[in-house]
Each structure stands twice: as C-alpha cells, then as structure tokens.
C-alpha cells in the first residue's frame, strides 16, 4: 500500500530528501506522496524512511492505494529499471 501524508504535516522538510523514489513533493498546503512512486522503501530499506524521520507521525498507509509486498516490490523493480 502506498503511503499518505495527512493534513497534520508541519512542512518540516525532513521526509522529502529521505525518499529513495522521489515520491514526496510539496503540495498546495503540505507535503504529499505520489502513490505511483511510493514503494514504502521496499528494495531500498527495511522500513519507510519518511515514517522513521517524521516528527509528528503524520504518514500512514493510503487505503485508496492497496498493494501487497509483492506489488510494491514489482513497482520498485519498474522504477529502478526506468
């Protein structure tokens, strides 16, 4: 499942540089995650790095984009081959 940054985001800028897929970007009001690029860091790290560094714990699973581990890994492979 891709991740989602909630409106509790304080725009602290720590999550964006941690994303190995460049899925995090500044939206209209706060940071957002492109679900087509988010692999929850599968293929790069043991756990999502944006979640690890977020000081307000505003990053959660995006129920609008359900994916299992195999789908996330396949997305990772597509992204690194592109």
**What is the spatial distance between Cα 25 and Cα 70, in angstroms, rounded to a whole number?**
25
User: Is 73 in contact with 42 (CB distance < 8 Å)?
Assistant: yes
Output the pTM of the full model: 0.93
pLDDT in the model for residue 1: 84
**What is the spatial distance between Cα 21 and Cα 79, in angstroms, rounded to a whole number?**
8
pLDDT in tens, 23-77: 999 999 999 999 999 999 999 999 999 999 999 999 999 999 999 999 999 999 9
Residue 82 has pLDDT above 80, yes or no: no
pLDDT in the model for residue 45: 97
3-81: in CATH 3.40.1350.10: no
pLDDT in the model for residue 29: 96
């Amino acid at each position: 499942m891709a991740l989602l940054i909630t409106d509790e985001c304080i725009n602290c800028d720590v999550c964006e540089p941690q994303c190995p897929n460049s899925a995090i970007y500044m939206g209209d009001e706060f940071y957002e995650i492109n679900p087509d690029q988010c692999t929850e860091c599968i293929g790069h790290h043991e756990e999502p790095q944006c979640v690890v560094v977020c000081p307000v714990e505003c990053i959660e699973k995006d129920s609008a984009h359900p994916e299992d581990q195999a789908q996330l890994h396949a997305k990772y492979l597509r992204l690194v081959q592109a």
